[in-house]
Structure 1
Amino acid sequence: MSLAFRNEIDITVWLAGGTIADVAIQPRSRPPLTRLFAGKQASSLLPVLPRLFSLCSVAHQVAFLSAVEAAQGQQATPAAARSRVTAVVAERLTELLRSLFVGRLALDGASAAAVRAMMQASMVLGGASEGVSETLRREAVAQIKAALAGLGIAGEGQALAPGSALAVHVERCEGEELSPPLVEQSFLTAADDLDVVTRLLAGGAAYSDAPELCGKIPETGVWARWARRGPVLPVAGSAARLQARIAEVARLCAWLERGDEELDDGVVASYRLAAGRGAAAVECARGRLYHAVVLDEADRIVNFEFLAPTEWNFHARGPLVRSLKGAVLTAGRRGQDAVRALVGSFDPCVGFNLDFREVGHA
């Protein structure tokens, strides 16, 4: 199978003096899943999904499997459901740490080793969506906790260790050379799931490429989850988003250690829409991921659509554009670096190209 897609987002920031006058986003292209898999047995797709989605592959597999079960009128056992949630949480933790460290912070030898150890341990949990022994789970969680402590994250609700790579990075971001505008923030929640999946199956790729809810494009991801747990700042700059990401890392580690409480963000939800029609939502690292399927009587794929968090956050009228348009930035490299940091804080699941142009000099 030859899969050629443009896995990059092009972002053009139009400047008028020291103010961002406009932001243009050229989205990535996405795999046409119905065209690729129509007529194939649903059960044959699970091994293929990690080839299509290298990031958050566990979340995609859980979303697809849950959607198929809903279409078939089946329901996962409590033990299987619990294992899937644990796998998704572990993968979310891995992806959050990846976005914090890989390619963004200069790490010494000890910090780099801690990142590798944490990712290896969380992959043990994330790679076992149908179950892992309690002994192995405890060993992996202990390794994750020790690695996070080595990176400066001592525990849930505790301050970063002074002098750690993360503490230094947060201090640097707090002095960022960008003043984001005051904007009305809206967030995607589990209460929107049925509306989203109904529109997804009805609109197909046209909807998933540019999703909306009654004309609004809500934000999804770490900042949205943070907002659901209490009041948030009216201006969400890269420093605030970084701190929310660090807090979630500590929270997820604490949840994995306890292992007996419910998370409050609807980690995995499935919906039977009609006979042969099902959908699922999974709260992954970057936000709410949706899969929707239609099966024939032999459980072959008739329709298969997905909607990733990146399509909300990097919508042409979405949260990133709202956070940048009207912002005031310092001239030169420092201001551009601050814009790049804010774009990175939205953590797209693909790479991005950032171009700055002066209005009137196209």
Structure 2
Amino acid sequence: MSLAAHNKIDVTVLLAADVVAAIEILPRVRPPLARLFTGKKASSLLKVLPRLFALCAAAQQTALLSAVETARDEVITRTTKQHRIALIVIERIADLLRGLFVGHFTHYIGSAAATRSLMRGMSALLGSAQPAWDSAQCEATARIVAALNALGMPNEGDAERSDGPLALRIAALDEIDLKSIPAEHSFLSVADDLNVIKRLLVDGATFCCCPDLDGHVPETGPWARQMTRDRLSPSPSGAAERLRARVAEALRLCAWLKAGAQIDAAEHGIIERYKLGPGRAAAAVECARGRLYHAVELDPQGRISRFEFLAPTEWNFHPRGPLVRSLQGAVLTARRRRDAVDAVIASLDPCVGFTLNFREVGDA
């Protein structure tokens, strides 16, 4: 999700004798969608969204469309819902995997052929997204799974191949892993939707820029989904664990597609709609980086009179959020500090670019 200039996150790590004393986060400038959308027909905005968001365009379109349809009391068919879920899943797979070969496997000799095959499979899958599941999509999904296996990424229940790029990358992440103070973890889920939406409509942009739930700032994204779904202990909780969660989720979503993309087997809460009153509604979509929210109010002519949105990045890069909790109190030696912090930031996968700076301060 990227827009104009200044659309980046600035992270400054304050160090006291190699210990992280504090983290300062200057958030991105959020796109002014409320101002841009007010007074517009919803139908005219759907084609605009892909130009406003370089990432998660299908999720953004689905969230807006679902909120508007619900505000209008429109009922969608089961086939339409299945198609939209499949589009979200395909986009999620692409976003999850893009980060793997851009940020993790580019330097591993011997992975080039598998990476090229993975990229071809992704391109074929993205290009074959049709209302009905067909053999071309099944073939593209099978190619992706085969390429992931060749990169040493196991199917569910299997062990990582010790000489594969995945195992080598995890070993590298473990080597630079931070010695952090154990932190409390909470995870955003479908159970939080109504509380989030209420705050969206009550507090508007103030909440969207710095969201919290009763003072807590939960994590959202692949690792949070895994912890919630499987009820796992969130320890350890470093960059390596988040990488494993990305891989496991991509393979699980591919398996769902290969099995025919059946709606009854779809992930719980992947697209949710909420009617909030006459002409008012909201939608939540589980996209690659976490849970995305859109809320709308329509005037009697069907134009948008109010629009609020909340993206996953605002949770994960909150001044008291998951990034800060992962870094606070960690020991960073000069030799590895940038690589270690870069790895944590990348594991939370911001939807925009970021800058990283270090500053020495007094004793922690």
TM-score (norm 1): 0.93
Q: Establish whether residue 304 from structure 1 lines up as the match of residue 317 from structure 2.
A: no
Q: Give the letter aligned to residue 358 of structure 2.
A: F
Identity of aligned residues (%): 50
Whole-Å Cα distance in 2 between the matches of residues 159 and 124 of structure 1?
Answer: 32
Query: How do 1:267-346 and structure 2 match up within 5 A?
Result: 267-329=270-332, 331-346=333-348
Whole-Å Cα distance in 2 between the matches of residues 104 and 7 of structure 1?
Answer: 24
Query: How do 1:101-120 and structure 2 match up within 5 A?
Result: 101-105=101-105, 106=107, 108-120=111-123
Deviation of 1:164 (Å):
2.4
Deviation of 1:337 (Å):
0.8
Q: Give the letter aligned to residue 274 of structure 2.
A: Y
Whole-Å Cα distance in 2 between the matches of residues 349 and 109 of structure 1?
Answer: 26
Whole-Å Cα distance in 2 between the matches of residues 27 and 87 of structure 1?
Answer: 29
Deviation of 1:177 (Å):
4.3
Q: Show CA shifts across 1:258-293 (max 9, x none).
A: 133524441100111111111100011110000111
Pairwise CA RMSD: 1.8
Aligned to 1:246: 247
Aligned to 1:358: 360
Aligned to 1:231: 232
Q: Give the letter aligned to residue 284 of structure 2.
A: A
Structure 1: segments with no counterpart, 5+ residues: none
Whole-Å Cα distance in 2 between the matches of residues 245 and 213 of structure 1?
Answer: 25
Aligned to 1:34: 34
Aligned to 2:161: 161
Aligned to 1:134: 134
- Is the Cα contact below 8 Å between 1:114 and 1:147 reproduced in 2? yes
Structure 2: segments with no counterpart, 5+ residues: none
- Gap change, CA 1:239 and 1:4, over 3 Å in 2: closer
Aligned to 2:256: 255
Query: How do 1:57-206 and structure 2 match up within 5 A?
Result: 57-105=57-105, 106=107, 108-124=111-127, 127-128=129-130, 131-206=131-206
- Is the Cα contact below 8 Å between 1:114 and 1:150 reproduced in 2? no
Whole-Å Cα distance in 2 between the matches of residues 342 and 4 of structure 1?
Answer: 25
Deviation of 1:113 (Å):
0.7
- Gap change, CA 1:4 and 1:145, over 3 Å in 2: closer
TM-score (norm 2): 0.92
- Is the Cα contact below 8 Å between 1:187 and 1:219 reproduced in 2? yes
Whole-Å Cα distance in 1 between the matches of residues 268 and 166 of structure 2?
Answer: 26
Q: Give the letter aligned to residue 343 of structure 1.
A: I
Deviation of 1:308 (Å):
0.3
Deviation of 1:133 (Å):
4.2
- Is the Cα contact below 8 Å between 2:220 and 2:290 reproduced in 1? yes
Deviation of 1:98 (Å):
1.0
Q: Show CA shifts across 1:102-155 (max 9, x none).
A: 144325430331231132133135x54xx1342333233223223323333242
Q: Show CA shifts across 1:293-340 (max 9, x none).
A: 1111221111111100000010011111011111122x1131321111
Q: Show CA shifts across 1:146-173 (max 9, x none).
A: 3323333242232233432222111211
- Gap change, CA 1:133 and 1:319, over 3 Å in 2: closer
- Is the Cα contact below 8 Å between 1:183 and 1:235 reproduced in 2? no
Whole-Å Cα distance in 1 between the matches of residues 154 and 279 of structure 2?
Answer: 47
- Is the Cα contact below 8 Å between 2:25 and 2:318 reproduced in 1? yes
Q: Give the letter aligned to residue 326 of structure 1.
A: G
Whole-Å Cα distance in 1 between the matches of residues 310 and 61 of structure 2?
Answer: 14
Whole-Å Cα distance in 1 between the matches of residues 279 and 325 of structure 2?
Answer: 39
- Number of residue pairs aligned between Structure 1 and Structure 2: 355
Runs (4+) off by over 6 Å: none
SS at match of 2:292: strand
- Is the Cα contact below 8 Å between 1:6 and 1:30 reproduced in 2? no
SS at match of 2:300: coil
